[in-house]
Amino acid sequence: MHIRITKAFNNYHLFGFTGTPILAVNSGSGKYPNLRTTEQAFGDKLHTYTIVNAITDANVLPFRIDYINTMKESSNVKDKKVKAIDRENAIFEPKRISGVTAYILKHFDQKTYRNQCRSYYDYKVITNVDKMAASKNNTVSEKKQNTKVNGFNSIFAVASIPMAMKYYNEFKKQMEESGKKLSIATIFSYSPNEEDPEDTLFDENFETDGLDKTSRDFLDCALEDYNDTFNVNYDTSADKFPNYYKDVSLSPTFR
C-alpha cells in the first residue's frame, strides 16, 4: 500500500501512527529492503508517547508484571524439538490448578496491596447495576464519582470455559478449607466464530443459549453464589445475563 500511494501521488506527506513500531531488530525480510522498518517508510520519528507517559497522564492504569515459573527444569537439560506436547492435559492437571489457586489466595493481599492504606490516584467508578428484582426496564444505572482506592481488584483470565469452571470450583473449595474469604465471580461469553481467522476481533455474544448444558448449569450455580453475596437477582436468561456481565465488569465493590 505504501508503494501504491507513493506511485499514485506526486506531491504528498506521509504520517505514520503506530503502537508497535518496526525497528531494525524486529524487521522482516520482505522483498523491499528499503521498507522494512517504520522509519524507512515514514522518515524520522516526530514524537514518542510511551506506556510510562500514558500512566503518568492517567490515561492507562498502572500495572506490574510478576512472572511465576510453574515448571522446574534441570540446568543440564538440552531443549529439543518434539513432535507434540499434550499441553492441555498438563494445564488441566488438578495438582497444577490446586497449586496456582493456593498461590493466588496466599499472595492476593500482597499483590493487590489490599488493606495497606496505599492510595495511588483519583479515578472514576461506576455504581452497581440496579437490582434486577426491583428494576422494570432492566437498564444499567451508572453514576460517576471521585474516589480513592485502597488496593486493587483483580482479573484472572484462563483459556477456556472448562478451565474457568475448574478454577472457580477450586477457589470455592480452598476458601472454605482455609477460611480465606474473597468475593469471586466468573464471566464468559459464547462465540460461534471463535476460530475464524478472518474475525479475530469478534463481538462477544451474550446469548447463553449457545452454551452446552454443562456450562449453562455451572453458570446458573455461579450466578446463585453472586446473588447471595451481593443480594441481587440475576440469571442466565437473555434479558438478565448481560446486566450481570456488566455488573461484574463495572462494579467498584467487587473484589
Dist CA 123 CA 43 (whole Å): 38
User: Which of these, 173, 204, 162, 168, lies nearest to 185 by C-alpha position?
Assistant: 168
pLDDT at 100 > cutoff 90: yes
Mean pLDDT on 218-233: 91
Question: Strands, DSSP E only, in 92-142?
Answer: 122-126
Mean pLDDT on 61-89: 70
**pLDDT on residue 189:** 62
**pLDDT on residue 82:** 62
Sort residue 150 into left (φ over 0), alpha (ψ -120 to 50) or beta.
beta
* Listed range (31-40, 72-81, 84-93, 136-145) with the worst mean pLDDT: 136-145
Q: Which amino acid is at 35?
A: L
The hierarchical CATH code for the domain 81-250 is 3.40.50.300
**pLDDT on residue 68:** 79
**pLDDT on residue 240:** 84
Regarding predicted confidence, which is higher, 121 or 170?
A: 170
Sort residue 148 into left (φ over 0), alpha (ψ -120 to 50) or beta.
beta
pLDDT at 106 > cutoff 90: yes
Q: Which amino acid is at 251?
A: S
Mean pLDDT on 113-121: 62
Domain boundaries, the chain: 2-48, 81-250
Residue 190 three-state SS: strand
**pLDDT on residue 155:** 85
Reported confidence tier of residue 79, pLDDT bands at 50, 70, 90:
low
Buried b (16+ CB within 10 A) or exposed e, 23-59: eeeeeeeeeeeebbbbeebbeeeeeeeeeeeeeeeee
Residue 27 in contact with residue 66, Cβ under 8 Å? no
CB neighbour list of residue 54: distance below 8 Å, 6 or more residues apart:
60
- Over the stretch 131-174, which tens digit does the pLDDT of each residue have? 444 455 555 454 545 555 667 778 888 888 899 999 999 999 99
pLDDT at 63 > cutoff 80: no
